[in-house]
């Protein structure tokens, strides 16, 4: 863990917030997963912890990304009849993972990263509610 490129030293001592962990969750997630999910723009330790606690560390049960996003109810459905698209609404979901990924996508609005630029392009093209679904997993 010491050879990880990210520095774990705290910059300053801040007051503990309501949903903040009592320990350094970034280090613990790095130990469990072998990678630092908090380096992904938009993901913090709480979001990464939600992902790991709800899904687990093994994603082999999902054959591809499309199956994973369909399971999360983040991709639009397609109701067709006779070749005509009747509806393409996204299913409603009360999943903690879906909510965490939507919140992570919304935090990219002011990010200067490549994901932030992608989010702003999708938001300008598709509109605010739809862009959150497109920038998910």
In-domain check, residue 93: yes
In-domain check, residue 23: no
Report d(CA 6, CA 13) in Å as an integer. 19
Q: What does the pLDDT read at residue 46?
A: 87
The model's pTM is 0.70
Domain that holds residue 105: 41-134
Section 64-73 average pLDDT: 88
DSSP-derived letter for residue 111 is: -
Of residues 131, 125, 69, 68, the one with CA closest to residue 105:
131
Return contacts of 38-42, CB within 8 angstroms, 24+ apart: 39/6, 40/115, 41/108, 41/111, 41/113, 41/114, 41/115, 41/116, 42/104, 42/105, 42/107, 42/108, 42/111, 42/115
Domain count for the chain = 1
Q: What does the pLDDT read at residue 72?
A: 87
């Amino acid at each position: 863990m010491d050879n990880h490129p990210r520095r774990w030293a705290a910059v300053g001592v801040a007051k503990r917030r309501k949903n903040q962990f009592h320990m350094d969750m970034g280090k613990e997630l790095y130990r469990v997963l072998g990678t630092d999910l908090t380096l992904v723009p938009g993901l913090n330790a709480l979001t990464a912890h939600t992902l790991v606690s709800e899904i687990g560390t093994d994603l082999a049960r999902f054959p591809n990304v499309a199956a994973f996003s369909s399971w999360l109810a983040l991709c639009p459905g397609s109701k067709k009849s006779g070749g005509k698209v009747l509806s393409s609404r996204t299913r409603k979901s009360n999943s903690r993972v879906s909510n965490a990924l939507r919140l992570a996508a919304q935090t990219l609005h002011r990010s200067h990263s490549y994901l932030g630029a992608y989010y702003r392009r999708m938001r300008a093209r598709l509109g605010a509610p739809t862009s959150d679904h497109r920038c998910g997993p």
